[in-house]
């Protein structure tokens, strides 16, 4: 068996694992060629169907891909082969590579592929492929931006489980979301009439120039090959979401160069690292030129990834692609977050909680209006707007804060005249537990992850803001909230090794004493990128003893440990003190997983902390 592993681009630092029909691993750690995405040949032994998994990264995104075969030969591994495998097995990724095989025979695979191709018809046509193109074994050149590879760029694939395993397909060159289960399809993809004009090879050429321009400060500031030469005349750049942007190619380029040289921002010099390959986001087609969201992520020499700007965009002018920088004047962002709270000093029930972290900067728009209020809504399956929350300006906070029922009740209030903010920069919107929260998550699955944000210049949420974004803006939620309890527990949560748990439980220190803690963990799959570890003495992590950013090694390996050093404060730390190790990480679609491992020996055994 051999093939190509790709998700628009070939995966970096990827390896392949193969299971036989019984669940026995017959191949592990088989390398994928980074330049081409090629793997194999791998000799198959035992009985099929064989399940195949490849994990690595594309740009700043960790990713795992799946496929299945009974006969070997050519088997590509892409987001679309993953979709076929999920539909044919009726299993979500969290259970796909465990236990005996389920439903992946030739007939099931062929049926799943037929249904997927029907939903992909507009994307197949846009890529110049026949309606019966073989997604499992058809010709694929990773990074070519044409044919099969173009389709991997233009369609976002989501996988998960509700009452059944599901696949979602979302167009990046138009509108619409298709939702597929094993025997049903709802919704459809749409490709804009102007989609054919989105020249992805030209977009690659733009990023090749950006790589040259960001090699060092001299290149960056050069008029011939620097950022100014590739920035759009209307480019916008800012140090952060709440800062006034610099406008125009010259000024915007200079700001980014100074940011990368440590003069602006947090003082970190980023030159010497590398600009990661860009991934395509959704493109907008209107009266103006096509505008596409693109990633602009730099990885420094220590392996830490830095997003330069909030939501960045490139625009296709008559002369070719140019870099626009900030897509929005009000640089709002939203990310889904799932929290697992686990007591480690005693056996107790795990707790799960879902959040939407919605950051809306409290800025002054063009024309002088100051943002005071925002209403955030999602779509339901019928296309109607469903309000989720209000956010209002609070004190000197740089971001709008969640409008709650009262200062003592964090439940969101949808009445702009009744409620309270509970502090500055409260951006986390708790998703209800149970059926109400499941409905919110289900809407994102079936109707897409777009959020509508209405902007107002008064606290009563009645007078539209105006400005360059108009009165309403649309952003994409990063990450899909799991719908079911099984989907929440089935995420690839880091697993603390036994010593890390016992060391946290036994941790102690006198007032002002220096302590150290070196937790390690294992990762069940390769699609979680751990990015931060914190050691705290309260449940909200307001009292941090230590915090450490986690990077990616030079060989592409994700962090499986941390070295934390701290000084105990004015209160001694003893065995019975509350202690929290928080590990956060990011999934391929942007979902944030937060593992809170708690020790609370003073609490009754068997109860959560």
What are the structural domains, with CATH classification, of the chain? 3-153 (no CATH), 200-326 (3.10.450.50), 356-477 (no CATH), 491-599 (2.60.40)
Q: For residue 87, which of 72, 71, 67, 63 has the smallest C-alpha distance?
A: 67
pLDDT band at 300 (very low <50, low <70, confident <90, very high): confident
Place of tokens 């937790």: 519
What is the crossing angle of helices 147-154 and 79-89, to 10°?
A: 70
Return the pLDDT at 297: 85
Cα gap 116→109, rounded to integer Å: 10
Query: Is the pLDDT assigned to residue 318 strictly greater than 70?
Result: yes
Residue 528 has pLDDT above 90, yes or no: yes
Output the average pLDDT for the chain: 94
Q: For 148-170, what is the mean pLDDT? A: 96
Q: What are the residues facing 452 on neighbouring strands?
A: 377, 474
Q: Write down the pLDDT at residue 432.
A: 95
Mean pLDDT, rounded, for 85-104:
94
Rounded alpha-carbon distances, angstroms, from residue 5 to 60, 184, 376, 528, 586:
17, 28, 38, 18, 21
> Is 433 in contact with 479 (CB distance < 8 Å)?
no
Q: Residue 267's pLDDT band (boundaries 50, 70, 90)?
A: confident
Mean pLDDT of 195-200: 90
Give residue 552's pLDDT: 81
Question: 100: which 2 tokens?
Answer: 């005996």
Q: Assess whether pLDDT exceeds 90 at residue 115.
A: yes
Q: Which residues contact 458 (CB under 8 A, 6 or more apart)?
A: 372, 373
pLDDT at 255 over 80: yes
Residue 191: is it exposed, middle or buried by C-beta count within 10 angstroms (0-12/13-18/19+)? buried
Strand 320-326 to 231-237 pairing: parallel
Helix, coil or strand: residue 608 = coil
pLDDT in tens, 445-479: 999 999 999 999 999 999 999 989 989 999 999 99
Averaged pLDDT for residues 370-384: 95
49 preceded by a cis bond (ω within 30 of 0): yes
Segment 151-156 mean pLDDT: 96
Give the angle 448-451-453 at the CA atoms, nearest 5°: 160
Residue that wins the pLDDT comparison between 552 and 117: 117
Q: What is residue 554's predicted lDDT score, i.e. its pLDDT? A: 65
Tell me the CB-side half-sphere exposure of residue 370, using CA atoms within 13 A: 9
Query: What is the secondary structure of 22-58 as a DSSP string?
Result: TS-EEEEEEEB-TTT-EE------SSSPEEEEEEEEE
> Among 180-194, 224-238, 439-453, 550-564, where is mean pLDDT lowest?
550-564
What is the predicted pLDDT for the residue at 304? 82
Return d(Cα 380, Cα 439) in angstroms, integer.
Answer: 9
- Going by pLDDT thresholds of 50, 70 and 90, the confidence category of residue 273 is confident
Q: What's the mean pLDDT in 72-78?
A: 97
CB 21 within 8 A of CB 30: no
- Residue 75 in tokens: 């088997």
Number of other CB atoms surrounding residue 434 within 10 Å: 8
Q: Which two tokens stand for residue 424?
A: 């500055």
Predicted model pTM = 0.94
Beta bridge partners of 7: 9
Q: What is the pLDDT of residues 343-366, one digit of tens each?
A: 999 999 999 999 999 999 999 998
pLDDT of the residue at 553: 75
């Amino acid at each position: 068996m051999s093939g190509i592993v790709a998700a628009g681009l070939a995966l970096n630092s990827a390896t392949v694992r193969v299971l036989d029909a019984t669940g026995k691993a017959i191949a592990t750690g088989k390398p994928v060629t980074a330049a081409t995405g090629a793997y194999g040949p791998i000799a198959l032994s035992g009985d099929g169907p064989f399940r195949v998994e490849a994990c690595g990264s594309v740009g700043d995104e960790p990713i795992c891909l799946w496929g299945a075969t009974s006969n070997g030969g050519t088997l590509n591994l892409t987001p679309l082969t993953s979709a076929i495998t999920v539909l044919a097995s009726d299993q979500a990724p969290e259970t796909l590579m465990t236990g005996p095989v389920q439903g992946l025979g030739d007939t099931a695979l062929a049926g799943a592929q037929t249904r997927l191709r029907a939903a992909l018809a507009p994307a197949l046509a846009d890529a110049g492929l026949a309606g019966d193109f073989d997604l499992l074994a058809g010709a694929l050149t990773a990074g070519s931006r044409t044919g099969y590879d173009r389709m991997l760029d233009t369609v976002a694939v989501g996988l998960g489980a509700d009452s059944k395993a599901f696949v979602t397909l979302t167009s990046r060159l138009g509108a619409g979301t298709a939702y597929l289960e094993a025997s049903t399809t709802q919704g459809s993809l749409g490709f804009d009439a102007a989609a054919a004009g989105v020249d992805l090879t030209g977009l690659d050429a733009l990023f090749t120039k950006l790589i040259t321009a960001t090699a060092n400060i001299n290149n960056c500031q050069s008029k011939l090959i620097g950022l100014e030469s590739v920035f759009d005349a209307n480019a916008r750049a800012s140090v952060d979401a709440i800062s006034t942007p610099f406008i125009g190619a010259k000024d915007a380029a200079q700001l980014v160069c100074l940011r990368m040289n440590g003069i602006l921002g947090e003082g970190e010099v980023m030159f010497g690292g590398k600009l990661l390959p860009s991934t395509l986001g959704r493109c907008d087609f209107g009266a103006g030129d096509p505008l596409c969201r693109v990633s602009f992520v730099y990885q420094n020499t220590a392996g830490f990834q830095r997003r330069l700007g909030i939501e960045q965009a490139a625009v296709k002018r008559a002369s070719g692609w140019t870099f626009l920088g900030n897509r929005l004047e009000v640089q709002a962002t939203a990310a889904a977050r799932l929290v697992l709270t686990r007591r480690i000093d005693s056996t107790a029930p795990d707790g799960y909680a879902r959040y939407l972290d919605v950051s809306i900067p409290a800025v002054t728009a063009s024309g002088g209006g100051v943002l005071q209020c925002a209403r955030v809504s999602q779509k339901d399956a019928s296309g109607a707007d469903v309000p989720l929350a209000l956010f209002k300006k609070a004190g000197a906070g740089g971001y709008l804060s969640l409008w709650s029922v009262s200062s003592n009740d964090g439940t969101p209030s949808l009445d702009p005249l009744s409620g309270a903010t509970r502090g500055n920069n409260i951006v986390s919107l708790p998703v209800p537990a149970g059926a109400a929260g499941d409905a919110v998550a289900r809407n994102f699955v079936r109707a897409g992850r777009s959020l509508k944000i209405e902007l107002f210049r008064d606290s009563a949420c009645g007078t539209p803001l105006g400005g360059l974004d108009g009165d309403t803006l649309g952003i994409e939620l990063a990450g899909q909230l799991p719908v079911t309890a099984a989907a929440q527990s089935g995420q690839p949560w880091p697993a603390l090794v036994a010593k890390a748990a016992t060391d946290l439980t036994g941790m102690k220190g006198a007032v002002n004493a220096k302590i150290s803690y070196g937790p390690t963990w294992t990762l069940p799959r390769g699609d979680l990128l751990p990015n931060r570890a914190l050691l705290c003495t309260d449940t909200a992590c307001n009292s941090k003893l230590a915090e450490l950013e986690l990077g990616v090694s030079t060989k592409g390996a994700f962090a499986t440990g941390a070295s934390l050093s701290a000084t105990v404060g004015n209160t001694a730390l003893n065995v019975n003190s509350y202690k929290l190790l928080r590990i956060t990480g990011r999934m391929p679609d942007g979902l944030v997983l937060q593992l809170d491992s708690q020790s609370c020996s003073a609490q009754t055994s068997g109860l959560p902390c």
